[in-house]
């Protein structure tokens, strides 16, 4: 047994002594496909709503609230799922967000928001993370669907038109500045700008 392991170690240490370069290149190519494909499949599996709400923290609190909003139910039936708004679509940004999300695994293991009470107590902090993220990237996840270039002001109500054609157009404001709580209930908004 030990001998076999030693032999294997020798092969791994210097594979070109035992296999031809061609074989190694071809094997490496296929191993690469399998590894990369597997990695991406696993990554995409964590990027679905079904995955998010497989935890009771998400299913019982945030998902239930979403159901009453326009991003879940509306006249045309187009809807947003969790990752549409909470995970960047761009690959590098997505990987960065996924690495950040490893802290959420920690939270799950130690039950940081395992009860409704714990969740409500932490809601302001969690909401602030998302507000800061969307403020920093100019509401990129909103703009993945809602493109300012294609907004028809004549189809908007007068006050929406005024807000979008002034603050939003000049870049002074971004979507999240006014549309906090568009998809979830809000935490205590005391001292949040725009909510006094």
Partner 1 sequence: MKKLLLLFLLIPMFVMAEQNIATLRSADIATEPDAPRMGVEENKDMKRKRNYPMQPPTIPHMITGYLIDLNSNKCLSCHSRRRVEESQAPMVSVTHYMDRDGNFLAEVSPRRYFCNQCHVSQVDAKPLVENDFIDIDAILDSKKNKN
**Dihedral of the alpha carbons of 195, 138, 85, 52, in degrees to the nearest 10:** -90
Least CB distance to partner 1 at residue 103 (A): 25
Q: Residues 90-129: x/- map of binding to partner 1 (CB under 8 A)?
A: ----------------------------------------
Q: In angstroms, rounded to a whole number, what is the distance separating the alpha carbons of residues 90 and 71?
A: 21
For partner 1, the binding residue among 49, 84, 130, 185 (CB under 8 A) is 185
**Cβ distance to partner 1 smaller for residue 55 or 178:** 178
Size of the site for partner 1 (CB under 8 A): 17
Q: Which is nearer to partner 1, 140 or 189 (CB)?
A: 189
CA distances from residue 68 to 36, 141, 182, 184 in whole angstroms, order as listed: 39, 20, 10, 9
Q: How far apart are alpha carbons 182 and 72 in whole angstroms?
A: 11
Residue span binding partner 1 (CB under 8 A) among the ranges 19-27, 50-58, 77-85, 155-163: 155-163
Residue 76: Cβ within 10 Å count: 5
Helices and strands (H and E) in the chain: how many: 13, 0
- Residue from 157, 170, 171, 191 in contact with partner 1 (CB under 8 A): 157
Q: What are phi and psi of 171, to 5 degrees?
A: 80, 5
User: Shortest distance, CB of residue 157 to partner 1, whole angstroms?
Assistant: 5
Which residue's structure tokens are 């187009």?
78
- Under the binding rule (CB under 8 A), the answer on residue 76 touching partner 1 is no
What are the residues binding partner 1 (CB under 8 A)?
A: 68-70, 157-159, 162, 181-182, 185-189, 194-196
């Amino acid at each position: 047994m030990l001998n076999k392991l030693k032999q294997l170690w020798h092969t791994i240490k210097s594979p070109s002594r035992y296999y031809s370069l061609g074989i190694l290149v071809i094997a490496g190519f296929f191993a690469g496909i399998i590894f990369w494909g597997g990695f991406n499949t696993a990554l995409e599996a964590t990027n679905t709503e079904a995955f998010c709400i497989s935890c009771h923290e998400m299913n019982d609190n945030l998902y239930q609230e979403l159901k009453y909003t326009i991003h879940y139910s509306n006249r045309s039936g187009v809807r947003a799922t969790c990752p549409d708004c909470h995970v960047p679509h761009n690959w590098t940004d997505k990987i960065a967000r996924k690495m950040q999300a490893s802290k959420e695994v920690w939270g799950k293991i130690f039950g940081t928001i395992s009860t409704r009470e714990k969740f409500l107590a932490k809601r302001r902090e969690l909401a602030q993370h998302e507000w800061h993220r969307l403020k920093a990237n100019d509401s990129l996840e909103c703009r993945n669907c809602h493109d300012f270039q294609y907004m028809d002001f004549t189809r908007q109500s007068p006050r929406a038109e005024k807000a979008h054609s002034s603050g939003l157009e000049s870049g002074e404001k971004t979507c999240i500045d006014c549309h906090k709580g568009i998809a979830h209930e809000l935490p205590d908004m005391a001292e949040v700008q725009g909510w006094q």
